[in-house]
Structure 1
């Protein structure tokens, strides 16, 4: 009987919850101002030539926790947070997240398993593996789209109370480094449109040239993000992952994972689609409005949206 694993793992039953600092009164007011801005009568997204009304997908995205993520990223400056939220809303439309970036369009990028979602760390954060040596395409645009699509699926795999992910990058086997232009584009997208989403960036088998590559791009990375980078960690001994939640090959876990596209890809696509559909249905039952808490629609609690109650929770 084979012990091989070919599909994503389920979240662990028990995780160590990250500390959740209680919001101070001024911070509560800041979130309420953002909520008021996006829910005022007649609001339309600025800079949109055609329909500036928020779509259902955009209202779902503008959760209570999302607003707090942008507030924290802008050091609790309301106007800056609103500008960044609106910038991301426009970017998500222009980038094609709601229509263009389908599993069918991006599947050619996935066939070698160069990017894999597998396992969860001790805090319940999904693991996002990148294996540059398995690069199989040359079109930079679709490569970037695929990375973003996988990041979105990683978010689909976040359970209640989890808002960030771990990147696990393995540069073994003569990794094919992305171009400086592609790297800067991906970094820009992550920093501008996915604030507060990176838990840790774990990098192993770093050869000299790749080490120099990281030194070159470090000035373009936010200082907070740089602090999350760890080179050549032992993820199990360091207590980042439990042994049964990490790959055996190169990472020291006990999961003998093998990427077989026909076995992995349809399971991942269906799993993420099912989870997201359930959350959206819960969100609709709770009113389908801006500011509903992710923790509520993920748990299925029937509570009022944040716009009709006092918001007091936060998340790292």
Structure 2
């Protein structure tokens, strides 16, 4: 991980090239060639600990019920069995920390309501394509591209809510909803952070970056499968050095630097042609992207989920 915070350059910055007809089509279904990894092994006593965490939530909800509107979404989140094991893995089985984390996440989700953030609320943040969900890696993880160089708004809570909205579209509640992108049995996503065109004025503040890192690590624990950081200019090294203490070791170990050949992990036709080896010549067009994603995920403009059919 030393290269993440040093001054190592890639051998060559890839420029966008024409590797086939340009397309506005967003890839929202994994290819048949993608394969799921086997489930992560459980440790001795994990089943009992998971039951204790579920009982803790049941007890807390009985004493502190959420409002009627959000209750179905909270119940879905709680019914995701693997969520309890992810929490346990994130704290290495420490029950004291697991209980605190899961209660903190319950209260955060009640406050944030990430499943039903209205698209219209965050649409202004999406207009330049600074977050794009499209494609899947070889292990069926949805790919989320983050492009700080396309920043179009000033720092605000809405920026963070858009990041959460994007995470939720990738992750959702796959065991229960047919309209989420993540496939049954998949637990994590791939993130590509592309600093092409980024400058000091487009970079998020350290406060914002810390806030987002905390949300990802605490409330979406064990959801990051791998991350690639590409086109990183020298001036960003200090930024990452300041952010480093707030990234846990497990998160750091999942980050690959800009000299990594991403086609080792992502098939060329799933990887944006801007990157070495990619042949998916995607051209961002906001109306097409936004309508494709919201329709695929079954979300109306006010945030209401239009489909609610359990997977069979």
Give the TM-score range, shorter chain.
0.7 to 0.9
- 1:89 paired residue number: 106
* Match in the other structure for 2:221: 195
Q: What does residue 28 of structure 1 align with?
A: 47
1:5 aligns with 23
Q: 2:142 aligns with which of 112, 126, 142?
A: 126
Q: 1:44·1:53 contact (CA, 8 Å) conserved in 2?
A: no
Q: How does 1:115-154 map to 2 (within 5 A)?
A: 115-154=131-170
Residues 171 and 206, structure 1, Cα contact 8 Å, conserved in 2: yes
1:281 is aligned to 309
Determine if contact 1:247/1:256 at 8 Å carries over to the other structure: yes
How far does residue 235 in structure 1 lie from its aligned partner after superposition? 3.8
Distance 1:218 1:281 in 2: 41
Q: Is the 8 A contact 2:136 2:266 kept in 1?
A: yes
Post-superposition offset of 1:19: 3.3
For 1:157 and 1:126, the matched residues in 2 are separated by 7
Between the aligned partners of 2:218 and 2:235, the Cα distance in structure 1 is: 27
Residue 160 of structure 1 corresponds to 184
3-state DSSP class of the match of 1:6? coil
- CA pair 107-208 structure 1, distance change in 2 beyond 3 A: same
Distance 1:277 1:144, change over 3 A: same
Contact 1:130 / 1:169 at 8 angstroms: preserved in 2?
A: yes
Greater mean alpha carbon deviation, residues 12-21 or residues 200-209:
12-21
Which structure 1 segments of 5+ residues have no match?
Answer: 283-296, 301-316
Between 5-14 and 261-270, the greater mean CA deviation after superposition: 5-14
TM-score, normalisation: structure 2: 0.81
Match of 2:287 among 258, 262, 271: 262
The CA deviation at 1:71 is 1.3
Would the alpha carbon gap of residues 54 and 142 (structure 1) be closer, same or farther in structure 2, given more than 3 Å must change? closer
SS in 2 for 1:166: strand
Q: 1:167 aligns to what SS in structure 2?
A: strand
Deviations 1:96-122, CA, capped at 9 Å, x for gaps: 4355x2101110000110100011111
Question: Corresponding residue for 1:288?
Answer: none
Following the alignment from structure 2 to structure 1, what is the Cα–Cα distance between the partners of residues 157 and 72? Answer: 27
Is this contact kept in 2: 1:44–1:52, CA < 8 A? no
Structure 1 residue 26 displacement after superposition: 1.5
Distance 1:98 1:257 in 2: 27
For structure 1, which segment, 108-117 or 185-194, has the greater mean C-alpha deviation from structure 2 after superposition?
A: 185-194
Counterpart among 70, 74, 83 of residue 58 in structure 1: 74
Give the direction of change, closer, same or farther, for the CA distance of 1:254–1:195 in structure 2 (3 Å limit).
same
- Structure 2 unaligned spans of 5+: 1-19, 172-179, 300-304
After superposition, the C-alpha distances for 1:2-30 in whole angstroms (9 at most, x for unaligned) are 82221321211132332324435521111
Partner-residue secondary structure (3-state), 1:128: strand
What SS is found at the alignment partner of 1:281?
Answer: coil
1:78 CA displacement: 3.1
Alignment counterpart, residue 198 of structure 2, candidates 153, 174, 181: 174
Show the 5 A alignment for 1:298-309: 300=312
Q: Distance in 2 between matches of 1:37 and 1:52?
A: 20
Structure 2 distance, partners of 1:233, 1:209, is 18
Structure 1 residues 108 and 195: alpha-carbon distance in aligned structure 2, compared to 1, 3 A threshold: same
* Preserved CA contact (<8 Å) 1:234 1:252: no
